[in-house]
Amino acid sequence: MLVIITWPSSKVKVVFCDVGQGDGVIVMQGRLQILIDVGPENNKMAGCLSRYLPFWDKTIEAVIISHNDSDHNGGLKQVEKYYNVQKIYSTDLAKNDIIKYNQIEFEVLSSVQNWGNDNENSVVGELKYKDHKVLFLGDVTSQVEQRLVWRKYINKVDVLKISHHGSAEATSEELLEATKPMEAIVSVGRNNKFGHPTKVVLDRLEKLGVKIRRTDKEGDILYIW
């Protein structure tokens, strides 16, 4: 039997995993892996990792958890069952913190506000690699989005991971005008009971000419830079 083992590419890959109704993202370069949220407790995040990581690479260098909702952090125990997670970041993050590995940076633009609402306390961060930018919004509301816009914490990005799976409470016009994304990712479960993504959000994106990509329709969504 011939077994061919290929060395990982030096290109950066960003995978928006199809984890059902939740968020889970893999950022990888060579033997480096960073996760941004890990989906619900349904083994789908572990399945996504098995599809994209070499079978012999069992180390996850960092996991960033946006907030404590189970559809964002529920899959962590399953990930830890199969992989050695070296560092976990979550509510310990503060604005202006930068998580940096190689040429990949994740800059925190907003974190815990102590407003008593897990969604509004989501870590908002910008993933940067060379001239590529992806904005991650967790489940923040339009109130948080507008504060980020008013204080000029955000600007143009290539890809927007829209907040709260397309809830009507987020993805404001102000946010979209400030970020001017080429593409927007909706991480959402098929036929979910919440009616996500909402028509008002989809209409808003279409009006501004933003390409809409959905995990419930495409499955995993992959970018390679």
What pLDDT does 9 receive? 67
Cβ neighbour number for residue 137 with a 10 Å cutoff: 27
Distance CA(214)–CA(225), nearest Å, equals 20
CATH topology for 12-224 is Metallo-beta-lactamase; Chain A (3.60.15)
Sequence letter at residue 222: L
Q: Which two tokens stand for residue 153?
A: 């914490």
What value, to the nearest 5°, has the Cα angle with vertex 22 and ends 186 and 203? 25
Would you list the domain boundaries of the chain?
12-224
User: What H or E segment, with its residue span, contains residue 45?
Assistant: helix 44-52
Q: What is the CA radius of gyration of the chain?
A: 17
Distance CA(208)–CA(193), nearest Å, equals 27
What pLDDT does 114 receive? 61
What pLDDT does 49 receive? 98
Taking a C-beta distance cutoff of 8 angstroms, is the pair 121, 114 a contact? yes
Three-class secondary structure of residue 9 per DSSP: coil
Sequence letter at residue 48: C
Per residue in 126-151, pLDDT (tens digit) is: 999 999 999 999 999 999 999 999 98
Among 23, 116, 100, CA closest to 65 = 23
Per residue in 52-73, pLDDT (tens digit) is: 999 999 999 999 999 999 999 9
Residues of the chain with pLDDT under 50: 1-6
pTM of the model: 0.93
Distance CA(73)–CA(144), nearest Å, equals 21
Taking a C-beta distance cutoff of 8 angstroms, is the pair 19, 70 a contact? no
